[in-house]
Amino acid sequence: MLTTDNYECTWDLFKSIPSLEHPGRTVYDETIAFNEVNVSNSKARLVDRNRFKVDVGSMGLSMMDRIELVRLSHPLHARR
């Protein structure tokens, strides 16, 4: 479920893709309709094997780990 405004590029892309099942509608329209019917009630981002919430405040990542993740997700900034 894409439920936040943080997906602006994705929304723009979805607005350009016509629906396969509904003429005159887009994938964006279908996604918004799906989100309205299937309201998210998530209480956790991650659970362990015993179905307990995992505190993801840090996930054990150091600042260097986080920088490396950013480098991985942005190829122009990756080390050569």
pTM tops 0.85, yes or no: no
In tens, the pLDDT along 25-66 reads 999 999 999 888 888 777 777 788 898 888 777 677 788 888
The answer to whether 46 and 33 have CB atoms below 8 angstroms apart is no
Q: Is residue 78 pLDDT above 60, yes or no?
A: no
pLDDT at 39: 83
Beta-carbon contacts of residue 30 (< 8 Å; ≥ 6 apart): 19, 21, 22
Give the 3-state secondary structure of residue 5.
helix
